[in-house]
Structure 1
Amino acid sequence: MSLRAEIARLAPGDRLPSARELVRRHGVSPVTVTRAFALLAAEGAVVTRPGSGTFVAQPRAQPGTMPADTSWQAVALGDRSVDTARVSHLLGPPPPGAITMSGGYLHRSLQPTRALAAALARASRRPDAWDRAPAQGLAPLRAVFARLASAGPEDVLITGGGQGALSMAFRAIAPPGSPVLVESPTYPGALSAARAAGLRSIPVPMDADGIRPDLLAETFAMTGARLLYCQPTFHNPTGAVLSLERRRQVVAVARASGAFVLEDDFARLLGHGGPTPRPLVADDHDGTVVYLTSLTKAASPSLRIGALLARGPVMARLRAMRLVDDFFVARPLQEAAIELVSTPTWDRHLRTLSTALRERCSTLAAALAEHVPQWRVAGVPAGGLHLWAETDRAGNVGEMSRRCGVTVEPGQDFFAAEAPGQFVRLGFAAVPDLADLVEGARRLGSALEHRPRTSTSGMDDGLQGQ
């Protein structure tokens, strides 16, 4: 009580008597004084500084009266940051009344919601549904992914969706500070994941047939990179499919460079009805290709089930990453995925989805040609969820689209370095029906016709100062 009274008379920062002085003054043991200081420190009344003494602490702020001072954390965390600017908008809700042509997931009307509910219900009734899952994943689910890549189940590692697999692979394969080669343009989530892993993304140009093997070989030689990230099938955002000859060349170039190819096959189940080429990993027998895919895109955003496929020491490292990251993917979700893909309903869903995506893709392409002819669509893809167009509007596509009630994605986020032009990605899978796609194109065309005249400074008059 005497110490509390003394603290009350002092100001924050004042020094309290030493332990030796308190022992002499109160006739108590040093242990008693030590315990008293420890109790007061736990209450936040004092601060002990070894070698200096014990001081009256600053008063704690009452909730809601003063923000905590966390500025010290900037020093402790250092200069590495996690860049979410490229991906955070992909998960945010669209403005009220907006037509959604952004994002990378299916509208609810395209999802197999009844089949998902039934699969989850069946999975929950299994007696072992809540048991611990193997770190590598349940064997029947590994077999499902193995069939997609013409591989064996022993080469498959189940992950928490494609993005989780991507992040894990970057951290497992390439050391921090090293370069990773990427197509230009590429998926923004890959650029963010690479940066979070401490990697430097180096762009390699592509054309209508995919990444250019000649420039890929030069870039490997110039940078010493040991990893290429690519999307050979229904590339995001362009929709391009890497030609058969280039598929062989890309793997050969990587193998000659002593490098891995991280093949992101996110759209394997999103074809529009035509033939889908074999993944690179299916014809790779030397462990050059590390393959990733998921069920998420073709089912539901919340079915966070993906897979990595690899051979050799790199798979051992990926399994180790799984253990230290989170042990395993939740068993009920794996069981539900098995239930979903093991029924004829899943095959019917994929056929229905293929038809719907093909119809939506052609509808949007035709609507853009009619209402926004100044946007040059790179080509109508044979799979995936997007169209990629070159525009003449420097930097203001996002702002213009928001003003007319349509959400699109400006192309600059898809480039690891300077973009060679002005681009926009338009999705056709997130709207309720075809009429929304036509109306969205009409709104965009109308907004372009009535856009403010460009001033001599190069900025749109109506956007200056914003």
Structure 2
Amino acid sequence: MYDDSSARIVAGLHEWLRTAAPGARLPSSRALVAQYGASPVTVQKALHTLAAQGAVETRPGVGTFARAARVARPHDYGWQTAALGPRPKPVQQLATALHTYPNDVIALHSGYPDRELLPERLVRAAFTRAARTDAAVTRSPAAGLPELQAWFAAELGAVSPADVAPPTASDVVVFPGSQASLSATFRALVGTGRPLLVESPTYWGAILAAEQVGVQIVPVPSGARGPDPEALSRAFAQTGARAFYAQPSFANPTGAHWSPDLADEVIRLVREHGAYLIEDDWAHDFGITHEVVPLAARDDGGHVVYLRSLTKSVSPAVRVAGLVARGPARERILAGAQAESMYVSGMLQAVALDVVTQPAWRTHLRGQRHQLAARRDLLLGALREHVPSGVVEAVPQGGLNLWLRLPDTTDVARLVRDCEAAGVVVAAGDEWFPAEPTGAYLRLNYAGPNPGAFPDGARVIGEMLERQAG
């Protein structure tokens, strides 16, 4: 009875408020008690309900009043024009590789491996175990969990020559993914307005990070066998650059894997010019026929700053990367990382460490190698059959992608649109060039979902190319 009476009063007062002027005073509590035959407590409950709904406002000692209706008006953000100043140089928008599409399309655009290529069972078990540890409720050290630092150092030290001192755990900084480490490294070692040499084409995320930091990007020609050492030498001499960003193992997007001779020459050049090589070992866990031996394993003089991410190989939900740098460079990078993110989730670090130290991790990588080879060969064969005018200049021995050269007359943007309209999503190669593209390319991911649809995807690409040519 009590609740029914309160609801009756609320409904009655809503009717009264519909015709009342904003700010009108409601009848007194005594009048409402008499009008509704309710107790004072019930009347007060009804008024509290109206106040919670924003219909009335109570002024202690004065009374209760109809709340004035709020009139919607346009937002005035004009002041921000002066506060923000001139618009900076636009940076790349979200890359095609990060776009999501319905499940019924043939997705050849992604930069990540399909879920079935991930160690899902290991990851789920690691999360369960980590949740029962202190990692779930404590802050990790700024440079990372000591055990994970030691693991990254040991992985690199295991392939270091006998005459090269291996890195130690104290040389490692753990980051929340490779993108954060690239930004911190470019900011610390290059600096705003200073030149950074990069392979062309190169990873779009590195281009984005460099643009956001404000460094001056200097392209160095690179192809199926890696960068041109003569062009690299000239770029160092002409620009005075003190850093070169590169992916020596299964480069994204070209798939290039540097020969030992090229690796030696690049190390010689960075030493000669007193510079850093920022080595992005993004595909360390995706070798097919070649094992990865990082250039950083050959250097103990601090010239090579080494980055290895676990995000693609362990799980996209575990954004963890390790950066190995020696000497003052490491301290400067760490200082910048602390200023930006303070520390990396201890929970994610614990999960990553758990996964990569399980005996089943190596078993998973061996099985993954065979799956990647089968997928690569399936897509390669389909392209040769259905896209005869396209050329894969070098079959990658690892990584996730094929770099498909198209006829020079190809309108790549139109081709991408036409393929998408036909249910096939591809990535235009333009996104991987830090300057004007030197040709028409597509980057196609052979580690994506539904490999059985690769032949259909290649057929659509071929048909759309023929439509342009016709």
TM tier, shorter chain?
0.7 to 0.9
Matches within 5 A, 1:146-225: 146-150=153-157, 151-225=167-241
Q: Deviations over 1:44-96 (max 9, x none)?
A: xxxxxxxxxxxxxxxxx968x44423243243233464755354433221245
The residue aligned with 2:391 is: 376
Give the Cα–Cα distance (whole angstroms) in 2 for the partners of residues 106 and 183 of structure 1.
Answer: 24
- The answer to whether the 8 Å contact 1:86/1:413 transfers is no
The residue aligned with 2:456 is: 439
Greater Cα offset, 152-161 or 443-452: 443-452
In the alignment, is residue 414 of structure 1 matched against residue 414 of structure 2?
A: no
Query: SS of the counterpart of 2:352?
Result: helix
Give the Cα–Cα distance (whole angstroms) in 2 for the partners of residues 264 and 361 of structure 1.
Answer: 22
Structure 1 residues 128, 166: closer, same or farther in 2, change over 3 A? closer
- RMSD, matched Cα: 2.0
Matches within 5 A, 1:250-269: 250-269=266-285
Query: SS of the counterpart of 2:316?
Result: coil
**Which letter does structure 2 place at the counterpart of 1:158?**
V
Q: Deviations over 1:270-303 (max 9, x none)?
A: 111x232421111112111111111111122111
- The answer to whether the 8 Å contact 2:135/2:350 transfers is no
**Which letter does structure 1 place at the counterpart of 2:279?**
E
Matches within 5 A, 1:42-441: 65-79=72-86, 81=88, 83=90, 85-95=92-102, 97-150=104-157, 151-272=167-288, 274-392=289-407, 393-395=410-412, 396-432=414-450, 434-441=451-458
Aligned pairs, number: 391
- The answer to whether the 8 Å contact 1:262/1:291 transfers is yes
Please report the TM-score for the alignment, with normalisation by the length of structure 2: 0.79
How far residue 342 of structure 1 moved from its aligned partner, in angstroms, is: 1.5
Structure 1 residues 75, 247: closer, same or farther in 2, change over 3 A? farther
Give the Cα–Cα distance (whole angstroms) in 2 for the partners of residues 197 and 214 of structure 1.
Answer: 28
- The answer to whether the 8 Å contact 1:87/1:189 transfers is no
Give the Cα–Cα distance (whole angstroms) in 2 for the partners of residues 96 and 79 of structure 1.
Answer: 42
In the alignment, is residue 449 of structure 1 matched against residue 451 of structure 2?
A: no
- The answer to whether the 8 Å contact 1:255/1:288 transfers is yes
How far residue 424 of structure 1 moved from its aligned partner, in angstroms, is: 0.9
The sequence identity of aligned pairs, in percent, is 40
- The answer to whether the 8 Å contact 2:224/2:255 transfers is no
**Which letter does structure 2 place at the counterpart of 1:448?**
L
Gaps of 5+ in 1: 1-60, 454-466
Give the Cα–Cα distance (whole angstroms) in 1 for the partners of residues 81 and 324 of structure 2.
Answer: 38
Work out which of the two has the higher radius of gyration on C-alpha atoms and give 1 or 2. 2
Structure 1 residues 114, 75: closer, same or farther in 2, change over 3 A? same
Query: SS of the counterpart of 1:298?
Result: coil
Structure 1 residues 202, 260: closer, same or farther in 2, change over 3 A? same
